Structure 1
Amino acid sequence: MKRILKKTLMILVVLFFVLVGCSAPTPEPQLMQETAVAETVSVTETAAVEITTIPTETTEPFACTIAFDSDRDGNKEIYRMDPDGSNQVNLTNDPADDFDPVWSPDGSQIAFVSNRENETPGQFIYVMNADGSELHQLTYENGSEFPDWSHDGSALTYTSNGDIYVINVDGSGQSVNLTNSPEKEHRSSWSPDGSLILFTMGDDQNQNIYVIDPDGSNKTQVTDNGRNHEAKWTIDGRIFTGWGWVEQEQFCNNCVVNPDGSDIRDAGGKGMLKRYFPFWTVDSEHVECASLAFNDSPKADIYLIGKMFPDGLKKLTNSDANEQNVDWPANCGEDPMMIGYAGDDPSTQSRRNSFQRGCDEQALLCPSGSIADLVAHGVDAIVLNSLNGIPMENTVPIQSAVDAGIPVFLLDAELDMEGVYSVTIDQAKWARTGLEWMFEKMGGEGQFAYFDLYPAYGHFNVINETISKYPEITVVDHQDAKDDPWASKPITADLLKSNPEIVAIWTNGFYEDILQGVADESGVPMDKWPLLMCEGSMSGMSNWRDILQRNPNFECMALGRPSGVAYNAFYAAYYLLNGEQIDPSALAGNYGRSLYVDFLVVTSENRQDVFDNNPNLDQFMSPEEILEKWFLEQ
C-alpha cells in the first residue's frame, strides 16, 4: 500500500502507508553485485514493461508487517516491525539515507529510495527481500523517487527529474519514460487493477492530478484548482486527495473521486479512512495505520487508529525519532467487507445518501456501479435500486451476482429469485391505507376515481378488494399504465368537469399533476374539491401547505416511500455478511422474500408536526431494531 496525504492539523497526519507479510529471521543485509547501467527508452520506442490488468490470484491471508523509515540511528534507515509494533528491525544498516519504503503486494520485497555510495553517485531506487537480503539497485536515473509497485508485483513506477517512469522489477528490459515532457510530473502510483497510473503535474506552487494508461497514453486531468500536491489510490480504484475543483463549492477536505473526475465524495476524517486504506491487526481488527505528530512536533511516531484502543490510538513506535512513510503490503490481512450500490438514479438520490449513511457508520467501503462492475470488483453484497417498483437492472446481471454467491437486496420492489431479498414497504398495506381513509371520510358512499399508474407495485388487486368492501362507492373512472401519466393534469380537470360530484381521487403517482388539475383547471369550487392523495415528500408537503393557504378546508393524505429502505438494506446486508441468519418468519411479500419497513402516514391532524420535523417522510429503523426484527436471535 502507499502513503496518504500529509496533513498539518492539531494532530499532524504525516503519512498513511501500508504494511507487509513475513516475519522470518533476519540475516545481515548484503549489497548484491551491481548490474550494468540500464538505458532508458521513451514511450515512442518499444516499451519492455507489460502489466496485466487481470486481478492477481487470491492467496492465503498473511500478516500486515509494517515498513517505515526512521532517523533513530542518526540517518534515515528502513525498519520493519510486526503489526503490533514488536520485532523492530533495521533492514538497511547503511551510513547513507534510506527512505520511502514500499512493499510489494505479496509482502516478499521492499523497494526504497537511497543515496548510498556506489559506482554512480546519486539518488536511486533499490529493492530488497522482506528480511533485507538480496539488496540491489534497480533504477539508474539520478533523482529517482516515489516508487510504487504494480498490482501484480512485476514492475515499479517512479519519478525522476520531473518525468514518470516504469521499470520491470526483475531487471529485464529498460526503464520507460512515460511522460518525457517539459512539464514537471510528480508522485506516480499504480491503480489497484494496474490499468492506470496517477500522478501530479505542475510546479511547486500549483499542481493538479492526472491519470494516464501504463503505456503513457490517454492523459486525463482530474483536478483543476492547483492545490493537489499529493494523491493516492484507494483500494477500490478511486483517488484520495484534498479539494481540487474550481467550479464547485467545497464540501470535503479529504475527498475521493473517480479517475475521470466524476462522483466527488467526502472521505471523512480520522477513523473513517480505514475503508480506503485498510490495515489488519494481529487480532484481525480493521483499523487505520498512520504516522502522526502531535502539537506541531517535528517528530512523528507510528500509530494504529481504532475504536478498540484507549483514546482511539495505539502507539507502535516510541524512539524519540522521526518515524514516517509507513507502508504495508497491499494483499496482506483479510479482504475488507464491501457492499455495493447498483442502479443509482438522480431522482432517488436520497436513497443513495441513506445507503451511504450506513457505510459511514460502519466505515465500510461501498462502491457504486453496474451489477457487472460490482461483481468484477469483488463486493460481498449488493443493494439494488428500483424506480417505480421496477429494478434498475434486469434479471440477467442479478442472477449472475447470485450465481457468484453475492446476496442482492432490492429496494422498494419484489423479485422471485433465490438469493434476492426485497427491502420495501408493504405495498398492499400502503394502497389500502389511503383507500380506506378516503372511503371512511366519504362515509362509505359517493363517486370515486383512481389512477393506478405504476402496475409494478401490484396495487390493482388491493384497489378492487377494498372497493368491494364498500358497495355504496361508485367508481366513475380510472386510469392505469395504458394511459399517459404525463397527461394526468388535463385528464383530472376533464374528469371533474364531467363528474363534478366526485368525492375522492386516489393515485399512486403524479400527485402534483392531479392536484393542479383539481385546483387550477377543473373549475370546481374550493368547498367541493375532492379528497386527494398528496406526495409523500418534501415537495409534496410544501404543495399541501401552499394549497391550504388558498383552501383551508382542503383534505389530503400523504404516505411515505422512505428512502431509509436503503439504510435498512445496508444493515440487512451487513448483518448477513457478519454471520447473522435472517428470520424466516420476517420474510413476507408476494414471493416470501421481502423484509418490510414501516411508512409514515400523514393527515391533516399531524401534517404540521411532520412538516416541521420530517418533511421527507423518511423512516429509519435503528441497526438494533433491524437485527431484532429481521434476524434470528443467536
Structure 2
Amino acid sequence: MSTKSKKIVLLVTILITIASMIAACGAPPTQAPVATEAPATTEAPMTEAPTEAATEAAATEAPAAEGAPFTIGVSNPFISSEYRTQMIAELEEVNQEYMDQGLTTELVIESADTDVPGQIQQLQNLIAQDVDAILVNPGDVSGLNATLQEAIDQGIIVISVDQELDVPGVYNVGIDQKEWAKTSAQWLAEKLGGEGDIVQIEGFPGHPANVARMEGVAEVFAEYPGINILATDSGRWDEATGQQVMSNFLSAYPNMDGYWTQDGMAIGVLQAVMAANPAKWPQGVGEARCQYLKLWQEALTLNPEFDTIAVANHPGVSPTGLRIAVNMLQGKEVDTSKLGGANGLSFVLPVAAVITSENLEEGLAMCEGKPDAYLLDDILTDEEVVSEYFQ
C-alpha cells in the first residue's frame, strides 16, 4: 500500500471513530422524552383532595337515599279548624327540611271540607299521582278502609295521623285520644267531688277521634255514679257552634254543675258561660290553645273562683308522622317493640302539655309571640324519631 493510500485509510478510520463518539454522546438527549414520561406527572392533581366547594357540590348532587326524592301525599277532610291550619303549615315546614336535603319533593296536599266519599276521592287522587307515602287524617272510623288497603297493595306507606285506625298495614301516629279525654274527665269528676249534673258537647259523631274520646269520658264517669249526664250534643268542633250549644244548655239547665267538651269548642263554651254569668258557674274543661288560656285569665276577673284544665291535643303529631314516613322510605327498620294500639302499629306520642291553675303562667309563657289560635305543640326532631322508634 502506498503512503498516500495509508493516509486515506487512516483519515477514514479517524472520521468513523469521531462519528461513533458523537453518536454516543448524543444518545441521552434522544432518550430523555421517554424517561420523563409526561403522562405520569399529569396524574398527580387527580389524587389531590377536592376543594370544599367541590365536596359540597358532590354532596348536593349525590342521591340522598335510594329512590329519593320521595313524594308524600296528605289527605285532610276538614279545614274549618285552627288545628288543621296549624297542622298543614307544620307539615310544609318540616317537609322543607327534607327537600333541602334532597329527600322529598313538594307535598301533594288534598285538603278540603268533605265527607267520606270526598276523602276517598282525595286518597284515589294521591294514589293516581304515584306518591310514595300517604299521611291521612281520617274522617271516619272504617269508611276509608278499602281505599287505604288499595294504597298499601300498591306499595305505598300509609300513616294515619292524629287518629287511630284499626286497619292491617296502616301505621298510626298520634296521642292516645281516649287517654287524652280521660285526663280532663277525671279532673272534672274529682273537682265535682264525684257528683253533680253535667252536660257534654262532643265533636263530630262517628269521627275516629271523637269516638275514642267519648268512650274514654264514658269510662271515667261510669266510675262515679253520682255524676248525672243531663244531655249531650255536638258542637261539630266549631267555636261558634259550641257557644250556641252551651247557651242552649244554660237556658235549659240553669243549675247544671259542670260540662265536658273538647278542642276549640271549649272557647265558645266558656264565652257562653261568661256572657250568661250565672250566679253559680258550672265547672268545665278546655283545651291548651292560647286563646283559651287568655280567656281563662279573663274569666278569673269575673269569677275569682273559676278553675279549669287545658289538655293539649297538639298538631305536631302530623309532622312527626312525616318524619317517620321519610325514615321508613329510606329503608330504616321500625322497632315494633315500641309500637302499640289496636293493630300494634301505633306510634303513641305523649301530650305536649297539661295546663292547670298551678302552671297557667307557664302555659301563657308558651304563647308569647304566638297567635291566639296557636295550640301548644311539640314536634319530634328527626334524631328523636330515629332514636326512639327505629332500630
TM-score normalized with structure 2 length: 0.68
Q: Summarize the Cα distance change of 1:334–1:377 in structure 2 as closer, same or farther, 3 Å threshold.
A: farther
Give yes or no for the alignment of 1:533 onto 2:285: yes
Structure with more helix by fraction: 2
Partner of 2:134: 382
**Alpha-carbon offset, residue 373 of structure 1:** 4.2
Contact 1:339–1:570 under 8 Å retained in 2? no
Question: In structure 2, which of residues 170, 173, 176 is the aligned counterpart of residue 420 of structure 1?
Answer: 170
Partner of 1:505: 259
Matched, 1:409 2:154: no
2:88 to 352, 358, 382: 352
Correspondence for 2:298: 546
Determine which structure has the larger strand proportion and give its number: 1
Residue in structure 2 matching 1:442, options 168, 186, 192: 192
- Would the alpha carbon gap of residues 627 and 334 (structure 1) be closer, same or farther in structure 2, given more than 3 Å must change? closer
Which of 477, 501, 514 pairs up with 2:231?
477
Q: Is the 8 A contact 1:535 1:559 kept in 2?
A: yes
| Matching residue of 2:365 | 612
Matched-pair contact (CA < 8 Å) for 2:181–2:214 = no
- Displacement of 1:439 after TM fit? 1.2
Partner of 1:368: 108
Gaps of 5+ in 2: 1-44, 111-122, 368-373
Q: Which residue of 1 aligns with 2:387?
A: 628
Residue by residue, what CA displacement relative to the aligned partner does 1:366-410 show, whole Å, maximum 9, x if unpaired?
A: 321344444344332222234xx548x944543332121011111
Match of 1:104 in 2: none
> Separation in 1 of the partners of 2:245 and 2:95?
44
In the aligned structure 1, how far is the partner of 2:168 from the partner of 2:252?
49
Q: What count of residue pairs does the alignment treat as equivalent?
A: 308
Distance 1:314 1:368, change over 3 A: closer
Amino acid at match of 2:222: S
* Structure 1 residues 543-622: aligned runs within 5 Å: 543-599=295-351, 600-614=353-367, 616-622=375-381
Q: 1:489 to 1:302 in 2, by over 3 A?
A: closer
What's the offset of the Cα at 1:302? 12
- Counterparts of 1:350 and 1:394, CA distance in 2: 24
Write the deviation string for residues 127-157 of structure 1: whole angstroms up to 9, x where unpaired.
xxxxxxxxxxxxxxxxxxxxxxxxxxxxxxx
Aligned AA (1:519): M
CA distance in 2, matches of 1:597, 1:623: 15
Shift of 1:573: 0.8
1:516 corresponds to which residue? 271
Alignment of 1:81-480 (within 5 A): 304=54, 309=55, 312=56, 335-344=67-76, 346=79, 347=81, 348-362=84-98, 363=100, 364-370=104-110, 371-386=123-138, 390=140, 394-455=144-205, 456=207, 457=209, 458=211, 459-480=213-234
| Alpha-carbon distance, 1:561 to partner | 1.6
Which entry has the higher C-alpha Rg, 1 or 2?
A: 2
Change (3 A) 1:623 1:302: closer
**C-alpha RMSD of matched pairs (Å):** 3.4
For residue 285 of structure 2, give the secondary structure of its aligned residue in structure 1.
strand
- Structure 1 vs Structure 2: percent identity of aligned residues? 27
Q: Distance in 2 between matches of 1:352 and 1:454?
A: 20
> Residues 340 and 450 of structure 1: is their aligned pair in 2 closer, same or farther, counting only changes over 3 Å?
same
- Give the TM-score normalised by structure 1: 0.44
Structure 2 CA distance for partners of 1:494 and 1:377, relative to 1, 3 Å: closer
Q: Secondary structure in 2 aligned to 1:415?
A: coil
**Long gaps (5+) in structure 1:** 1-84, 87-300, 316-327
For residue 437 of structure 1, give the secondary structure of its aligned residue in structure 2: helix
The residue type equivalent to 1:474 in the other structure is N
Between the aligned partners of 1:427 and 1:499, the Cα distance in structure 2 is 29
Q: Deviations over 1:505-536 (max 9, x none)?
A: 10124222221221113x512xx212222233
Query: Aligned AA for 2:203?
Result: L
